Amino acid sequence: MPWRLWNFVLVFGLALLCNAHPIYAETSDKLQFSGFARVVLGYLDDKNAEYLNYDNSLSIDNESLIGLQADYQMMDSLAVTGQLIGHSGEQRDSGIEWLYLTYTPTNALKLKLGRQRTPFLNYSDVIDVGYAYPWATLPQQTYPRHFFSNFDGLMASYEIPSTLFLMNIEGYWGYFKDKVVVSEREMEAKTTGFHGLISHISFKNWNLRGSYHQGTTSVTLDDVTQFSGLLSQLGFSQSADSLATTGVTEVFQFSANYETVDYFVRGELNRIKADFIFVPDTDGYFLSTGYNYFPFSSYISYSKNTTDYEQPASDIPIGLSPVLDGLAYSYLNIFEQLPVNSSEAYTLGTRWDLQPGLALKGEVSLIKGADNESAFFNIKDTAFDREALLYLIALEWVF
């Protein structure tokens, strides 16, 4: 049995154990357990491609997961939180997701120290808790899977109450080191000096969030580093510099939600800027509106993203000698192999709240991309027209 599956089974067993003994959690003033799970069944209607590892066969092992969280109140102002998640898919490792101390010196100020969720986007904190949002899955166009999910560091949160609105400001500083998949390549990544500022404002039926994040990221790509060194030795410094594997990464984000008892409108946009080759500049956004008719809610969504890589340098001459031609073509081939993942998605779905803590969702998405781009598809046949329907059914559970 693969190690990933052992981790998934371990978390599942712990969750069942805690759920089977609620008296302990309820009678303890200091220790509380909670959990969540999701089972996602997916199918792509085209045999010529895969999308986020979904293909033209029914799949249940891409986004299904189970998580267990423990909160221990050490004293009135000090607590520790740990979260363990078992993933069925290969994209993310199972294990400890959160482990941090929370210090609350006042009602308005809160400090967290340790491993915690990276707060890039509006739904980052609950991205694994499908029950917390109406859709079967968050759109890849605005929630790219190569975002690292946690960081180690310090976060401060300050709440500003008012009779007219509620405002919360968060700031953090930390680092990240782990394997990530970017541009269809797995690589070791390290981000230092990672910091950001987030502002939340709630006003009547409105919830607004804006954030900025920055860090210096380096990735380990031995073949690219060696080739860049060769170009530098030969005097082609522009080409060598364009293959840098270290640079500053910035993320800008803004979201707005309008909620009533009967309907909702939610939107989010983000921009990613990076100074090194394998992470393109990306602009993404989504807009969704839905109608609530308890116990059901139905929604439509549109999401889109555009990606743009830095253009290759032109300091290697072509046509002077076969050796230089080979060098230039090898250099240009690196850029030609970079996947362009600009795409758009039209989604229609319904959520059914079966009972408190349990929901069933079904949705279908039309994914479209340009003929000369990857559009997040893993293309098996060059005749594929970059258009497919993705069907998802998700069972969401919190306990």
Residue among 198, 212, 195, 200 at smallest CA distance from 170: 198
Tell me: pLDDT of 18 over 90.
no
Residue among 183, 182, 196 at smallest CA distance from 151: 196
Give the C-alpha distances (Å, rounded to integers) separating 386 from 50, 53, 67, 174, 304: 10, 15, 35, 39, 14
Provide the pLDDT confidence category of residue 72 given band limits of 50, 70 and 90.
Answer: very high
Tell me: pLDDT of 9 over 70.
no
Where are the domains positioned within the chain?
3-398
Question: Which pLDDT score is estimated for 90?
Answer: 75
Provide the pLDDT confidence category of residue 25 given band limits of 50, 70 and 90.
Answer: very low
Per-residue model confidence as pLDDT tens digits over 263-275: 999 999 999 998 8
Average pLDDT score over the chain: 91
Question: Which pLDDT score is estimated for 179?
Answer: 80
Tell me: pLDDT of 379 over 90.
yes
Rounded CA separation 350/345 (Å): 16
Rounded CA separation 128/65 (Å): 8
Q: Are 232 and 204 in contact (CB under 8 A)?
A: no
Question: Which pLDDT score is estimated for 75?
Answer: 94
Tell me: pLDDT of 256 over 60.
yes
Fold for the domain defined by 3-398: Porin (2.40.160)
